[in-house]
Structure 1
Amino acid sequence: MKTKSTNLFTFISSSLAVISCFIATSMPISLMAIWTKELNMSSAQLAVTMLSYFSGCIVSLLFLAKLSNAIGRKKAVLCALVCAFISTSFFIDCTDVFYLNAGRFIQGIYCGIITGSAMSWAVDSAPSGKEWLGTAMSVAGASLGLMLGSLIAGIGVNFNLITGDRLFEIFLGFTLFLAIMICLSKESLKTEFSLKKLFTVLIPTFKLPRGKFAFFIMAAIGYIGSWGQTSFFQALSSKIALLMFNDENNVVLLTALIYLTVTLPNAAGGFAVGGLNPVKSLKIIMPLTFVIGSIMFLTIAFPHIVIFFITLTTLSFLIGAGLSLLLKILLTGSAVTERADIISFLYFMAYVGSAIPNLLIGKVFTNASFIQISFGFIGWIFLYTALVFILNLYLSKPKR
């Protein structure tokens, strides 16, 4: 029988595993401005680094999504921390684009395992009476980590308080500390290991609770669309910073500021709607997302700093709220053994879909201007928000 204190410690440990994972993945985004200059990287090469990360996530979510079902949540998270240690090592004294892409790819493997194990673990171990915290952590924890990583790297490196290499060295130490916490946490999915079971979970499968398929389609569209537009900032925040401010001396800080504006309101939105009715709320959030998102991308096409930050803040909050509500709908009524499959496949779809814009920018429309890219994203936002809005209306109708 698990005690409340033990459960709380486990929730904190699993939540830290989620948050720290995304701290790790966001630090290279802020430092990309430095690598862009040192390695003379083009916009296409920057997009490819994002694709390397997405590729690692996709491989991991496809083949390692249910790893925790075979070895337990605890051991799966420890495997993820090994990937964290290896990937972080690639960024220390990085002098070649190859090492940068290799580090981002392994970082994607790390993130994929965390998605299937630590996020499910957080849902399993959420404090009694506040079960919504587990769902919120699965969405907002990622945004919180992205925010902290970009803020730490942006301020620290821009003001010469710390070097990028030292940041990654500190993270290596924190990874070892977190591994100890994970070892002391309580397993929520006890399972007897066997090679047969391991090989079985490594085979990609997709299984949803009865009656959840249509809701999964709606959630997948929302995640693909939302992640697609936010991935634009992961790859090109440094370029946007130069476009908006034309200040090369503080580009690292300005890059972090822009990404902070993406991630902090996103995390706040995920937690803010925890107790709301998801069906009713989505009917308001989806139209607002399209309107505010369109205005935001217009301020990139035709630069206006003040309106850009106002609309980006609002849009990020709406995205975090929408993702949290969609996941809440999807996880309602799910069993412990089903959560890894549900969350992992949802995030798999999100990574695959969100890689599309970066693939187009990095490999097809390599010479596209910011104006062309911005109008393309306005069309992207309209498509996914309209589909989620219509599906939500249809699925919420009383069944005859």
Structure 2
Amino acid sequence: MQLHVPSRRLTGAPAFWAVAAVYLLVLVSSGVPSPLYRVYQEEFGFSSGLLTVVFAVYALALLASLLVVGALSDHIGRRPVLVVGLVVQAAGMVLFLLADGVGWLLAARVVQGFATGAMTGAFGAALMDLQARDRPLAPVVNSATPGLGLAVGAVGAGLLVEFVPAPTEWVFGVLTALFLLFAVGVLLVLPESSPRRPGARASLRPTLTVPPPQRRPFLLVMPCLAATWAFGGLAASLGPSLSAEVFGIDDHFLGTLGVAAINGTGVIASLAMRNAAPRRSLLVGALVFATGVAGTVVSLLTAWTWLYFLTAVVSGWGFGAAFLGSVAVVTQDVAPGSRAGLMSALFTFGYVSFSVPAVAAGVASGRWGLAATAEVFGVVVVLSALVAVVGLLLQQRRTAAPSLARAPADTPA
């Protein structure tokens, strides 16, 4: 006689939302340093150019991780990658706790970026693995979670800076404990959603894996991804400094509201457009985003604070809708064994757009000023978004033309 021992592992919707919760925590920690950059800048005395380098090393480390281990969970399983990544995240938080100079900040961000990159593909793929077939929520969660995490992290850290005597000790101490706790939770209760497959060692060669059926959709969404993520990178790295210099907002909490507005309304847009056709979401989002960023440029030229925050909301809504459409278009009908690699390629391109233009803006601001640099940056972003709109419309016209040609002619009665 055999005794049946019930499994302690989660299944179905609880497992899906558990993965989403862990993913959210990782991205909250990514947003935390944004309002602290000014604190560190004042404490350690470094320039805006070096500030964007501190910001960008996170994204560069994340990119390296995505390229090397981004597809690893397709071969060894999702759970081992997530457990190790969470432990490494905890180590990054300890480095932030010990930071007493720019070198420590750079090291902390490198460790944090590498851990986040290692987990990004696994998170995206696990959500696709665990979603209900009749309710495909993975594209919504994959597109909404980055914005929600960055917004919560930035606002939470901004509040701590204003109202808590030792904000860095509080925030990074709590995050260290949470990452270790979540690592144990993933190990003990999260199911493995992807079987082991051969080729783990070969997957470690730096490469971008976009399956042939997804290559044309990937090219289609690239201009929009570049525009939205570049603007997000500028807001995350220089947004608080821009608020202080152009609009005279010295309050750390208020300085983070522009960042929070962009990311928070992106979440609302993802939820509002979740039932829309992917290409429609992408098209509407790109147009709204371009309108919002154009308004932001006007606000910088006129120094109208109210317009700056209003257009941040508009840009964020467009960002969320466009990113939702991009993820849904690219991941449609992707094979299970290619999911982590494809999500890693998608986020690799996104984080390149997130980091490299922001570093260029930080360097340029030292010569031409922060406001002028942001204005030119905004114009370039608007043009890139409009290129995506034109590409979508031309692709729709090419798709519609053969359909009309094949339609049978009306036959008289």
Instruction: Give the length in aligned residue pairs.
Output: 393
> Is the Cα–Cα contact under 8 Å of residues 85 and 172 in structure 1 kept in the other structure?
yes
The CA RMSD over aligned residues, in Å, is 2.1
Distance 1:371 1:238 in 2: 12
In the TM superposition, 1:195-214 aligns within 5 A as 197-214=199-216
Distance 2:335 2:204 in 1: 20
**Structure 1 stretch displaced more, 89-98 or 255-264:** 255-264
Q: Residue 10 in 1 paired to residue 15 in 2?
A: yes
> Is the Cα–Cα contact under 8 Å of residues 14 and 119 in structure 1 kept in the other structure?
no
Encode CA deviations 1:68-125: one digit per residue, 9 max, x unaligned: 0222101111121122011111111421001111111111112211211012111211
> Is the Cα–Cα contact under 8 Å of residues 246 and 371 in structure 2 kept in the other structure?
no
Larger radius of gyration: 2
Deviation at residue 241 of structure 1 after TM alignment: 2.6
Deviation at residue 372 of structure 1 after TM alignment: 2.1
Other structure's SS at 1:282 match? helix
Encode CA deviations 1:148-179: one digit per residue, 9 max, x unaligned: 11121111221127622121111111112211
Encode CA deviations 1:46-71: one digit per residue, 9 max, x unaligned: 11112211111110111111110222
Tell me what 1:79 maps to: 84
> Is the Cα–Cα contact under 8 Å of residues 150 and 256 in structure 1 kept in the other structure?
yes
Tell me what 2:288 maps to: 288
> Is the Cα–Cα contact under 8 Å of residues 130 and 193 in structure 2 kept in the other structure?
yes
Other structure's SS at 1:92 match? helix
Instruction: Calculate the TM-score normalised by the size of structure 1.
Output: 0.92
In the TM superposition, 1:218-367 aligns within 5 A as 218-248=220-250, 250=251, 252-363=252-363, 366-367=366-367
Q: 1:319 to 1:3 in 2, by over 3 A?
A: farther
Q: 1:267 to 1:357 in 2, by over 3 A?
A: same
Deviation at residue 42 of structure 1 after TM alignment: 1.1
Tell me what 1:147 maps to: 151
Other structure's SS at 1:274 match? coil
Q: Which amino acid aligns with 1:299?
A: S
Tell me what 2:128 maps to: 123
Q: Which amino acid aligns with 2:200?
A: L
Distance 2:63 2:333 in 1: 27
Distance 2:222 2:352 in 1: 10
> Is the Cα–Cα contact under 8 Å of residues 83 and 107 in structure 1 kept in the other structure?
yes
Q: Residue 104 in 1 paired to residue 145 in 2?
A: no
**Which one of 17, 36, 57 corresponds to residue 31 of structure 1?**
36
In the TM superposition, 1:180-191 aligns within 5 A as 180-183=184-187, 184-191=189-196
> Is the Cα–Cα contact under 8 Å of residues 75 and 200 in structure 2 kept in the other structure?
yes
Distance 1:80 1:227 in 2: 23
Encode CA deviations 1:283-323: one digit per residue, 9 max, x unaligned: 33323322221111221233111111111101101111101
Distance 1:281 1:119 in 2: 20
Distance 1:94 1:176 in 2: 20
**Structure 1 stretch displaced more, 204-213 or 305-314:** 204-213
Distance 1:304 1:70 in 2: 52
Distance 2:142 2:97 in 1: 29
Tell me what 2:217 maps to: 215
> Is the Cα–Cα contact under 8 Å of residues 13 and 181 in structure 1 kept in the other structure?
no
Deviation at residue 146 of structure 1 after TM alignment: 0.8
Distance 1:234 1:262 in 2: 10
Q: Residue 64 in 1 paired to residue 69 in 2?
A: yes
Deviation at residue 329 of structure 1 after TM alignment: 0.9
Deviation at residue 362 of structure 1 after TM alignment: 3.4
Task: Give unpaired runs (5+ residues) of structure 1.
Answer: none
Q: 1:22 to 1:5 in 2, by over 3 A?
A: closer
**Which one of 163, 167, 171 corresponds to residue 167 of structure 1?**
171
Q: 1:160 to 1:3 in 2, by over 3 A?
A: closer
Other structure's SS at 1:177 match? helix
Distance 1:223 1:259 in 2: 18
> Is the Cα–Cα contact under 8 Å of residues 21 and 110 in structure 1 kept in the other structure?
no
**Structure 1 stretch displaced more, 301-310 or 320-329:** 301-310
Deviation at residue 394 of structure 1 after TM alignment: 2.8
Instruction: Calculate the TM-score normalised by the size of structure 2.
Output: 0.89
Q: 1:329 to 1:3 in 2, by over 3 A?
A: farther
Q: 1:139 to 1:391 in 2, by over 3 A?
A: same
Q: 1:5 to 1:365 in 2, by over 3 A?
A: closer
Tell me what 1:113 maps to: 118
Q: 1:371 to 1:240 in 2, by over 3 A?
A: closer
Encode CA deviations 1:185-235: one digit per residue, 9 max, x unaligned: 11110115x7xx332110133343443212101222221211101100111
> Is the Cα–Cα contact under 8 Å of residues 67 and 206 in structure 2 kept in the other structure?
yes
**Which one of 23, 26, 32 corresponds to residue 21 of structure 1?**
26
Distance 2:61 2:401 in 1: 41
